[in-house]
Chain A
Amino acid sequence: MERQKNTFSWKIGGEAGFGIMASGTIFAKTCLRAGLQIFDYSEYPSLIRGGHNTYQVYVAPQPVRAWRAAVNILVALNRETVDQHLAEVSPGGAVVFDPGEYSFRDFRPAALGRDDIRWHPVSLGQISVDHGGELYMRNTVALGATFALLSVNFSFPAAVVKDLFMAKGQAVVDLNLALLRAGYQAIDSEAARHFPWDLDPLPSPEPPLYLAGNEAIALGALQAGCKFYAAYPMTPSSTILHFLAEHGPTYGMVVRHAEDEIGVINETIGAAYAGVRAMCGTAGGGFSLMTEAVGLAGMTEVGVVIIEAQRGGPSTGLPTWTEQADLRQVLHASQGDFLKIVLAPGDVEECFELTQLAFDLAERYQTPIIIMTDKYLAESHVGVPRFRTVLPVDRGLVRRSEELPPGDRFRRYDPAADGVAPRTLPGTPGGLFVANSDEHDRYGFSEEGVANRLAQMNRRARKEAMVLRGLPHPTLVGPAKADLTIVSWGSTKGVVSEARAILTQRYHLQTNHLHLWLVNPFPATAVDTLLSRARTTVMVEGNQSGQMAGWIRQHTGRQFDHHLRQYDGRPFEPEKLAGQLQALIR
C-alpha cells in the first residue's frame, strides 16, 4: 500500500467508565500540536458504568470539517469493540487489542476473515500494572502503541504528555511517560514499517484550541459580555454549564444551576430585564418546559439567548445521540404570534460568532434568540485558531435618566416606535413601566382594547422585517452553475462540505451548497432566488419528516427534487453522503 502521511483516523472503544474520552483528548491534542487538523466524535450510552463507549478522531493536514467512519487504527479495550467496529477498519489498518482482557479469552482473529488488516496483541493491562500504573491506565499504554504504529519519534508525544500532565505533578508525569513508552516499545519496528499511515509533525507556532461547539458557545457568550448563565443539566447541553461554572466567575459571570428549566428561563428573563446580558441552555426536553416563558420574553420584549442542543427524540428519546428534529418545536414554541430569532450554527467557529451576534440581536430587537445545535456539533471537538472576531457591542435602545421626558412613567412600549421601542433599566429614575405578560398599553399597563391590541401587535411584528434587513443574506458556496444544489441547516454543514469535496475530487461532479444558519425570520426572498436557479435540488437534514424542507416550502412554495434524511441517532457521514449524492446526479 502507498504510504499516507498525516491523514489517518484512530478509534478507541471499550466499556463506559474507562477514561476513553481522556485518552482520546490526549491523542487529539498531540495531533493538533503536530500542526494537523482534527475532527473527533464520540459515542456513549446514557449510563455511567458498563455499556459501550467509543472515541474516534480523524486527522489531516488540511481543515477537517466532519468526522469519518473509516478507521485506520482501532484500539479494542474489549471484545465488543471488535465485534461492533471491525467492519469500519479499512484495508491495511491495524487492530490493537489486549489478549489479557477476559473478554478476549479464546479470541482467534484469524477466524474473522480480515486478512487485509494486522492484529496487534498488546498486554495493555498487564504492562500498565507492571509499570506501577492501575488497570484503567492501559489507555495510556494503548496510546504509546498507537504512536509507534504511526512511526512518530517517541519524543514528540512524550513532550505533549509531559505538558498536559505537568499541573498534576512530576510523579504523574513520570508514570504516564513510563506507560506511554512501554506501549510504544510493545510494537516492533517491523510492524510500524508495515503500517502505511504515518504521523510526521509539522511546525506549529501557536497550538490551536481544542474545542467542541458547546465550549465555543460558552466562549462566545463570555466574549459578548454575558454575565448570567442558568441551566439544568441535560445532555448534550451540559458541558456549557460545566465550562461556564468553571470559568464564568473569573469573567464576572453568575452561573446558576436552577431547580428546573422553568426556573432557569424565568431567572434568565429576570436578569436580562434588569439589564445584564443573560443566557440559558438546555436540550429538547428542557426546552419543552421553557416554552411558556419564551412567549413571556416575546411579550415583555426582554432579549434573552437560549441554547437548544438537540438529541434524538421524541421524549427522552436517544439521550446521547444526535438528531435535528426539534426545529418545529423551536419555531412554534409558545402560544401567539411573536418573533423568535432562530440561529443554527454549522460549525465550532459559527458557534462562537453566532453566540456573540445573538446577544446583539437580543438587545437590539428585544426578543428571544434561540441557537440550535445538536449532539454532533455540541460535543465533537475540532482544532481552531484562537478566536479573534470580537463584535462591537450593540446594546440596542436604552434610555438613561437624563434622556427621559419629565414624569415617573416611561412609554416603554410606544406604539409609534419603528418596531423596537427604547427601554429603561430598573433603577433608572423616571423610567417606570410595567413589563407585562398580559397585553398592555404604551406604559405596560394591562389593556385589552382593540385599537391598542392592534397597535402593539403590529409594532412588535415590524421587528421581523428589521431583522431581515439587518442580517447578511444566505449565500451559495461553490460554482453558480452546478449539477446539484445541496441545502442543509445547522451541524450538517461540515459533512456536506466534505462530501462535496469528495464528489469533485473523485468524480469531477460540480455541486453547490446552501447552509442555512438563519432559520427565523426566514430569508425567503434570498432562498427562493437561489433555489430558482438550481438545476436539481436536494435537502439534507437529520430528521424523519423533513422539517426544514417543510419550512422552506412554507416560505417559498418550493419543493425539493430529492431528500436525504437521517434519524438513527448517528450524524451524516461524508463518504456515505457523497455516495448518496452521486446517485442523484445523472
Chain B
Amino acid sequence: MTIDPSTHRAETSNVPTWCPGCGNFALWSALNHVLAVTNIAPHQAAVVFDIGCSGNGANWVKAYCFHGLHGRAVPLATGIALANHRLKTIVISGDGAAYGEGLGHFLHAIRSNPDLTYIVENNQLYALTKGQASPTSAEGFKTVSTPTGVTDEPLNPIALAISADCSYVARGFAGDLPHLEGLIQGALAHRGFAFIDVFQPCVTFNRLNTFAWFYERIRKLDELGHDPSDRPSAWQRAVSANDDLPIGLFYRAERPTLQDRLPVLRPGPLVDQPLTVDLSRLYEGLS
C-alpha cells in the first residue's frame, strides 16, 4: 500500500485488519484525506474511537487516538474537548455503541452542543461480536441473536437528532467517498456538535443492506434542492415513508457551543491555565 502523506493521514506502520471490501475502509480513507487537506496536523487532532470493528480504526489513524469503552466515546471526547478546545476532537463509533449502549450520551451531547464531530459507522448490526442485531437493524432482519427476525422497530438516528435540535445533522454513504469527505469537512468546520450517520455496509454479516442495496436507494439531498436551514423540511425528509434513502446535510443551525457557554475557557484552553491558586478570599466567606 502506498499512501501520500500530503493528502492522507493514514498510519502507515500498521495495516487495517478489516475484511476486504468493508465499509470501514471508506470512512477511514475519507477521514485521513480530510485531515490532510484541511491541514490539521496529526498532533492537533484527538480522535476518540468506540469499541467495535469501527473502533479498531484507533490503530490506523495518525492522531492522538483514544480507544475507549463501548458506548462511552462521546463523554470521553467531551472531557477532552473541554480540557483542550484547541484540539480538533472527533468521535468514531459503531451503531451498536451509538444507538444502543451510548444512546443517552448522544442526546445529552446534542443538548449541550460541545464543539466536536461525531461520526457513526452504521452497518445496522454488531459486527465485532459477530453479527447480532443492532438498534438500526430492519424489522424482520435475521441474525444470530434474532433467528426469527428482529421484532423491534429500527431507530431513526437522523430524525432523532433533528427532533433534539442537533446543530449539524448529516448522513453519508461509504459508497460515495467524495460526498462523505464533503460532509466530514463541513462537520469539522461547524462550531458545535456535528453528527454524521454513515451507511457503512458490513460485507461479512449484513447480507441485506449491501452496497448494491444502497446504490438503488440513495438520493443526494443537495440534488433534491433541500435547504439545510429548514428544520421542518429536514424532518420531513428524515421520516419520509418511501424507500429512498437521502444522504447529505439534513440540518444545520448556529447555536452557542458548550465551550462558548463557559466563561472559564475564554482566557484559553483549560490545560494551559496555571495550577496555583490563592484561596484566601474563599476562606473569608467560610467562617
Which positions in A face B, CB cutoff 8 Å? Answer: 29, 32-33, 206-211, 215, 219, 222-225, 227-228, 230, 247, 249-254, 256, 258-260, 262-264, 266-278, 292-293, 296, 300, 386-387, 393, 408-409, 425-438, 444-446
Interface string of B35-75 (1 = CB under 8 A from A): 00000011110101001000010110011111111001001
B87 within 8 A of A: yes
Q: How far is the CA of A431 from the CA of B274 in the complex (A)?
A: 22
The residue that A271 contacts in the complex, of B108, B270, B274, B277, with Cβ under 8 A, is B270
**A210-B286, A274-B80, A435-B67 known; A408-B279 Cβ under 8 A:** no
A222 — which chain B residues lie within 8 A by C-beta? Answer: 277, 279, 282
The residue that B66 contacts in the complex, of A210, A258, A273, with Cβ under 8 A, is A273
- Output the least CB separation between B50 and chain A (Å): 10
Contact B84 A274 (CB under 8 A): yes
Contact A438 B67 (CB under 8 A): yes
The residue that A296 contacts in the complex, of B58, B69, B77, with Cβ under 8 A, is B69
Q: B44, B274, B282 — which one has the most chain A CB atoms within 10 A of its CB?
A: B282
With A228-B83, A387-B283, A426-B80 known, 9 other A-B pairs at CB within 8 A are A223-B277, A259-B75, A267-B75, A272-B79, A274-B83, A274-B271, A292-B72, A296-B68, A427-B84
Interface string of B5-42 (1 = CB under 8 A from A): 00000000110000000000000000000000000011
B43 — which chain A residues lie within 8 A by C-beta? Answer: 426-432
- Output the least CB separation between B46 and chain A (Å): 5
B78 — which chain A residues lie within 8 A by C-beta? Answer: 263, 267, 270
- Output the least CB separation between A40 and chain B (Å): 15
Q: A222, A247, A253, A270 — which one has the most chain B CB atoms within 10 A of its CB?
A: A270
Q: How far is the CA of A436 from the CA of B104 in the complex (A)?
A: 23
Interface string of B69-112 (1 = CB under 8 A from A): 10010011111111110110000000000000000110110000
> 13 A-B contacts, Cβ less than 8 Å apart?
A32-B287, A206-B287, A225-B275, A252-B264, A252-B273, A259-B108, A264-B75, A269-B76, A293-B69, A386-B280, A427-B84, A435-B66, A446-B67
B241 within 8 A of A: no
A429 — which chain B residues lie within 8 A by C-beta? Answer: 41, 43
Contact B273 A227 (CB under 8 A): yes
- Output the least CB separation between A497 and chain B (Å): 24
Which of chain B's residues has its CB closest to A215's CB? Answer: B286
B13 — which chain A residues lie within 8 A by C-beta? Answer: 409
The residue that A293 contacts in the complex, of B67, B72, B80, B86, with Cβ under 8 A, is B72
B65 — which chain A residues lie within 8 A by C-beta? Answer: 432, 434-435, 444
- Output the least CB separation between A245 and chain B (Å): 12
Top 5 nearest A-B pairs (CB, nearest first) are A270-B79, A225-B275, A274-B83, A267-B79, A266-B75
The residue that A427 contacts in the complex, of B44, B81, B107, B273, with Cβ under 8 A, is B44
- Output the least CB separation between B82 and chain A (Å): 5
Count of B interface residues, CB-CB < 8 Å: 54
The residue that A270 contacts in the complex, of B80, B265, B279, B282, with Cβ under 8 A, is B80
- Output the least CB separation between B218 and chain A (Å): 33
The residue that B283 contacts in the complex, of A228, A386, A431, A444, with Cβ under 8 A, is A386
Binding site of A, secondary structure by majority: helix, strand, loop or mixed? Answer: mixed
**A249-B264, A426-B64 known; A271-B105 Cβ under 8 A:** no
Q: How far is the CA of A369 from the CA of B86 in the complex (A)?
A: 28
Contact A228 B270 (CB under 8 A): yes
Q: How far is the CA of A504 from the CA of B269 in the complex (A)?
A: 56
Interface string of B253-287 (1 = CB under 8 A from A): 00000000011110000110111110110110011
Contact B75 A270 (CB under 8 A): yes
Which of chain A's residues has its CB closest to B106's CB? Answer: A259
Q: How far is the CA of A273 from the CA of B46 in the complex (A)?
A: 11
A438 — which chain B residues lie within 8 A by C-beta? Answer: 67
The residue that B83 contacts in the complex, of A208, A270, A428, A445, with Cβ under 8 A, is A270
Contact B83 A210 (CB under 8 A): no
**A227-B270, A228-B270 known; A445-B79 Cβ under 8 A:** no
Contact B105 A437 (CB under 8 A): no
A206 — which chain B residues lie within 8 A by C-beta? Answer: 287
A254 — which chain B residues lie within 8 A by C-beta? Answer: 82, 262, 264-265, 270
Which of chain B's residues has its CB closest to A393's CB? Answer: B275
Contact B277 A274 (CB under 8 A): no
Q: How far is the CA of A516 from the CA of B235 in the complex (A)?
A: 60
Q: How far is the CA of A504 from the CA of B75 in the complex (A)?
A: 54
Which of chain A's residues has its CB closest to B72's CB? Answer: A266
- Output the least CB separation between A77 and chain B (Å): 27
A431 — which chain B residues lie within 8 A by C-beta? Answer: 43, 64
A208 — which chain B residues lie within 8 A by C-beta? Answer: 287
**A254-B265, A425-B271, A432-B62 known; A271-B67 Cβ under 8 A:** no
Contact B277 A434 (CB under 8 A): no
A219 — which chain B residues lie within 8 A by C-beta? Answer: 279, 282
- Output the least CB separation between B285 and chain A (Å): 9
**A275-B271, A426-B46 known; A263-B283 Cβ under 8 A:** no
The residue that A437 contacts in the complex, of B67, B86, B283, with Cβ under 8 A, is B67
Contact A209 B46 (CB under 8 A): no
Q: How far is the CA of A33 from the CA of B287 in the complex (A)?
A: 8
- Output the least CB separation between A229 and chain B (Å): 11
Which of chain A's residues has its CB closest to B73's CB? Answer: A266
Contact B87 A427 (CB under 8 A): yes
Q: How far is the CA of A278 from the CA of B271 in the complex (A)?
A: 11
Contact B104 A259 (CB under 8 A): yes
The residue that A267 contacts in the complex, of B76, B262, B265, with Cβ under 8 A, is B76
Contact A277 B263 (CB under 8 A): no
A258 — which chain B residues lie within 8 A by C-beta? Answer: 75, 108
A408 — which chain B residues lie within 8 A by C-beta? Answer: 42, 62
- Output the least CB separation between A161 and chain B (Å): 14
- Output the least CB separation between B15 and chain A (Å): 11
B271 — which chain A residues lie within 8 A by C-beta? Answer: 227, 274-276, 425, 427
Q: How far is the CA of A32 from the CA of B68 in the complex (A)?
A: 49
A293 — which chain B residues lie within 8 A by C-beta? Answer: 69, 72
**A259-B108, A434-B58 known; A271-B82 Cβ under 8 A:** yes
Contact B58 A262 (CB under 8 A): no
Contact A433 B79 (CB under 8 A): no
- Output the least CB separation between B55 and chain A (Å): 9
B62 — which chain A residues lie within 8 A by C-beta? Answer: 408, 432
Contact B51 A437 (CB under 8 A): yes
The residue that B69 contacts in the complex, of A227, A252, A275, A437, with Cβ under 8 A, is A437
Interface string of B97-134 (1 = CB under 8 A from A): 00000001101100000000000000000000000000
Contact A427 B104 (CB under 8 A): no
Which of chain A's residues has its CB closest to B280's CB? Answer: A386
Which of chain A's residues has its CB closest to B67's CB? Answer: A436
B280 — which chain A residues lie within 8 A by C-beta? Answer: 386
Which of chain B's residues has its CB closest to A218's CB? Answer: B282
Q: How far is the CA of A116 from the CA of B229 in the complex (A)?
A: 80
Q: How far is the CA of A545 from the CA of B108 in the complex (A)?
A: 40
B84 — which chain A residues lie within 8 A by C-beta? Answer: 274-275, 425-427
Q: How far is the CA of A408 from the CA of B61 in the complex (A)?
A: 12
